Amino acid sequence: MNKLLKFLKFIDDNLLKFFLGVYIFLIPLWPKLPIKMIDYTYIAIRLEDIYLVVMSLVFIIQLLRKKITLNKTHLWIFIIYWIAVFASTLWAIFIGKTIVLYHLGLLHALRRVEYMIVFFIVASIIKNKRDFFAFMNLYVFSVFIVALYGLGQKYFGFPAVQTMNPEYAKGYILYLTPEARISATFAGHYDLASYLVFSIPIVLSFYFYFKKNYFYLLVFVLSLVVLIDTSSRISFGAYLVSTILFLLLARKYFFTVFVVILTVGLMFASKDLTNRFFRTFQVKRILVNEKTGSVYVNQNVTTKELPAGSFYVKLKDQTPEVVSAGHIETFKKQIIQEQVKEASISAGQKLSDNDFNKLMASLSANLKGVNTIVSDISFATRLQVEWPRAIEAFGRNPLLGTGPSSITEATDNDFLRWLGEIGLIGTTTFLMILFLITKNIWKKITQVSKENKILAYGFIFGLFALLMNATYIDVFEASKVAYTFWLVAGIFTGYERE
């Protein structure tokens, strides 16, 4: 009986640590399989949401029983941020009328709280150096498994569950084609890449802290290979800048040379990533309808190439090359024929020869060949649709924004999304949270010992990489990435207390 009581006491004393250990693996490794879809959106209630609710309830019970103490570090600024988010939501629903579907506005607001609650639970569980290294080693091991799964997806046909569009979000098991970008257990390749660029500086910091333990080096190399296979240009750029700066500040000069050589070699071995970089901006002779402003780009759209968008910058030199001129004239005839065919269908009858010739002459006169630099469709969509929409929302209510969910599912720029949805108050408060966490981690962890400085560097440059990613992707709203960031931030903040 005494042994049983001791065992039960041990479980009771460490119950939250058991929950946290499972959580560290559950978040990155469990596929995004929906349990219940939310109406009018492809956001779903998933296993991690239910698990976090259960863990939060256990945390509250343990707080009431005084089995654990709440770590109140930065609590005041989090509360101000949450107030700003819900003030924006209420204004958008009842005054601004910019949120039509009330439940979506509330859902997006609550998700921001849900992601950040993890920070306080974890920061309260971590009580000493032993806890810190135990859970961070579990985290590094989870990164290792994610990388292995990503390679398995590329070379052995491991399945994927993605949420890149509403149909996929229903939980279909997908098998990627050879040219598809890998996503491992994440919602898409962008999410996986964001997770890796945040993790890589942290993994390297542990490699140096533990005097070059080669398991951490293996995790780094595998993570880099998988990152390149995602073909995410912004994430690769964020990795390159953050990792090299981290290594230089840590004075790991020879290792920096090794990382640069390894990275360049792997990059040029991946034709997909290099092709995407080269096709970000393309010099093309396009057709512009001077009357309507419509843009026509002559290109072959395939699954292996990133097509150009309709955003362009006109070049000063407008002298067409002979090859380009002939090519563009053929393309021009194709467009005119298609438009004439559409006009015939709209009229409901075949055009007379006279009407046909007039329409051909009119369309031909309006279409003009222009030498340009065109962006790829990914950047063009952001520049022409998503970013202006967020800027317009910010202009409507600079202080509070137009409310969570008001500018659709994605903006592909977290800074603009914050400004558009929650305004200056919410955006400034959120950035203040990140600043205070970073400041305290640097101040407190480096005071423990000089060796700890490398660990602080790892977290700081991981966050820096995420912020770079946030200029092109909504990383702090991507569930797996957001959960991961607040988890790691909580572990580091808990370590401050020692």
The pLDDT value given to residue 295: 73
> Is the pLDDT confidence value at 355 over 70?
no
Model pTM score: 0.91
Average pLDDT over residues 356-363: 66
Per-residue pLDDT band at 50 (split at 50, 70, 90): very high
- Assign 328 a pLDDT band (cuts: 50, 70, 90): low
Q: Which of 331-340, 342-351, 474-483 has the lowest mean pLDDT?
A: 342-351
Residue type, 209: Y
Choice between 309 and 281, residue whose per-residue pLDDT is larger: 281
Strand partners, 373: 283, 313
- Tokens describing residue 450: 């000089």
The token pair that represents 67 in the structure block: 């089995």
Lowest-pLDDT range, 205-219, 257-271, 276-290? Answer: 276-290
**Given a cut of 80, is residue 351 above it in pLDDT?**
no
> For residue 298, is pLDDT > 50?
yes
Q: What are phi and psi of 68, to 5 degrees?
A: -145, 155
Alpha-carbon distance 236 to 319, whole Å?
36
| Distance between CA atoms of residues 255 and 224, nearest Å | 15
Mean pLDDT, range 28-54, rounded to an integer: 90
Residues 30, 27: Cα–Cα separation, whole Å: 6
| Residues 125, 29: Cα–Cα separation, whole Å | 22
Which contiguous run of DSSP H or E holds residue 283?
Answer: strand 281-289
* 8-state DSSP, 234: H
The pLDDT of 45-58, averaged and rounded, is: 95
pLDDT of residue 305: 57
Mean pLDDT of the chain: 87
Q: Which residue has the higher pLDDT, 3 or 58?
A: 58
| pLDDT higher than 80, residue 296 | no
What DSSP assignment string belongs to 324-365? HHHHHHHHHHHHHHHHHHHHHHHHTSPPPHHHHHHHHHHHHH
The sign of the CA dihedral 125, 131, 135, 140 is positive
Q: Give the pLDDT of residue 322.
A: 47
Which amino acid is present at 478? A
How many whole angstroms separate alpha carbon 361 and alpha carbon 372?
A: 25
- Quickly count: other Cβ atoms within 10 Å of residue 263's Cβ: 18
Report yes or no: 235 and 196 within 8 Å, Cβ to Cβ: yes
309 three-state secondary structure: strand
Secondary structure (3-state) at 37 = strand
Mode of pairing for the β-strands spanning 281-289 and 44-46: unpaired
pLDDT at position 276 = 75
Q: Which residues pair with 370 in a beta bridge?
A: 286
- Each residue's pLDDT tens digit, 101-159: 899 999 999 999 999 999 999 999 998 899 999 999 999 999 999 999 999 999 999 99
**CB atoms inside a 10 Å sphere around CB 259:** 22
pLDDT of residue 360: 65
What ranges do the domains of the chain cover? 2-274+397-496, 280-388
| 228-247 pLDDT per residue, tens | 999 899 999 999 999 999 99
pLDDT > 70? residue 205: yes
Confidence band of 323 (pLDDT split at 50, 70, 90): very low
Higher pLDDT, 446 or 25: 25
In this prediction, what percent of the chain has a pLDDT beyond 90? 58
Diameter of the chain measured on Cα atoms: 102
Contact of 269 with 230, CB cutoff 8 Å = no
pLDDT digits (tens, 9 = 90+) for 153-201: 999 999 999 887 777 888 889 888 877 889 999 989 999 999 999 999 9
More confident residue, 382 or 148: 148
Asked if the model's pLDDT at residue 302 lies above 60, the reply is no
Decide: helix, strand or coil at residue 1.
Answer: coil
Q: How confident is the model at residue 2 (pLDDT cuts 50, 70, 90)?
A: confident
Q: Which of 50, 62, 53, 48 is nearest to 17 (CA)?
A: 62
Instruction: Read off the pLDDT of each residue in 267-293 and give the average, rounded to a whole number.
Output: 74
Distance in angstroms (rounded) separating the CA atoms of residues 307 and 285: 15
Work out the average pLDDT over 285-296.
Answer: 71
DSSP string covering 397-436, please? Answer: -TTT-S-TTTT-S--S-HHHHHHHHHHHHHHHHHHHHHHH
Cβ neighbour number for residue 82 with a 10 Å cutoff: 18
The tokens describing 494, both together, are 């808990």
Which residue would you say has higher pLDDT here, 62 or 38? Answer: 62
**What is the distance between the alpha carbons of residues 417 and 165, in angstroms, rounded to a whole number?**
19
Model confidence pLDDT, tens digit, residues 426-444: 999 999 999 999 999 988 8
Between residues 179 and 260, which one has the greater pLDDT?
260
Instruction: Report the percent of the chain where pLDDT is more than 70.
Output: 85
